[in-house]
Amino acid sequence: MKAFLVHQGALYHSECDGSQPHRTAVTDLVRGIWCLFPGQALSLLRNRIYVDCPLSPVCEGMIKVAAKRFAVVNPDEWNSRFTSFTGARNLVSPPTLSTLTHTREPPSGAIKEVLADLKLRSEGFPRVSAALLDPDGRVLLASWSRTASDRTAHAEVNLVEAWFTLHSQSVPAGSSLHVSLRPCAMCAAQILALAGTPSGLRIVFHEEDPGPASKNSCLVPGSDLWKKAGSPDWRSWPADSQEE
């Protein structure tokens, strides 16, 4: 997949071979712009993003969260638009581990307290934290949101990207991902990309999101997106959960 946008005569583009399930050309482009050009990101992402194939749920979610418009173009149109900027290409790369807020040593305590403590590290609102637990309940990796300087740096996206950067593989089967707030559509899709198989990961959110962000996500049971994603296992905390 390829993606680009043009801003003030300069072209910003990204290409992704699909070898990492949580990354696409759109996620690399959008997150790369926030990482490399944070001061200009809002203006840059007002421009239409051109892509060479239909958007996945992750791409759609990310465009909703942090960009404005997109268009899918055919190869001829792509070539004519793209090659006119041969001399002014900016390769946009994804965030590095140093910008993905995460820790392998979270505060101790019950998961509720761990998430509450991690939320205090967030930059921007709402404050959100997330933690990945192995089948025995041990925290493997935890993260928090950093949306003050990167609109896409939701806790779950940071967690997914940090996990893959560290391990280059899906989460262990039987893991649980706890999130302090119900995931938005972008994060829900990213979490499932990390899951390997939908049955490999249980998703637990601790607070309902009253806003529109979590509507139309693949974590809305019975929805088309949920069915298409393989009917992932999710529950809210603590009512539907086994744990105390």
| Burial class (CB within 10 angstroms; exposed 0-12, middle 13-18, buried 19+) of 52 | middle
Query: Of 184, 193, 201, 203, which one interacts with Zn ion (CB under 5 A)?
Result: 184
Of the pair 124, 196, the CB lying nearest Zn ion is at 124
Smallest distance from Zn ion to CB 76, Å? 36
How far apart CA 87 and CA 94 sit, in angstroms, is 22
Query: Of 154, 178, 182, 206, which one interacts with Zn ion (CB under 5 A)?
Result: 154
Binding segment toward Zn ion, per CB under 5 A, in 134-142, 147-155, 192-200, 224-232: 147-155
Query: Of 1, 187, 193, 194, which one interacts with Zn ion (CB under 5 A)?
Result: 187
Give the pairing of strands 233-236 and 201-205.
parallel
Q: Which residue has the tokens 């809210």?
A: 236
Task: Tell me, by CB under 5 A, how many residues bind Zn ion.
Answer: 3
Q: Which residue has the tokens 């198989």?
A: 197
Smallest distance from Zn ion to CB 61, Å? 8
Of the pair 82, 144, the CB lying nearest Zn ion is at 144
Contact 53, 26 (CB under 8 A): no
Backbone angles phi, psi at 115, to 5 degrees: -65, -40
How far apart CA 180 and CA 6 sit, in angstroms, is 37
Of the pair 92, 160, the CB lying nearest Zn ion is at 160
Of the pair 2, 182, the CB lying nearest Zn ion is at 182
Give me the residues that bind Zn ion (CB under 5 A), please.
Answer: 154, 184, 187
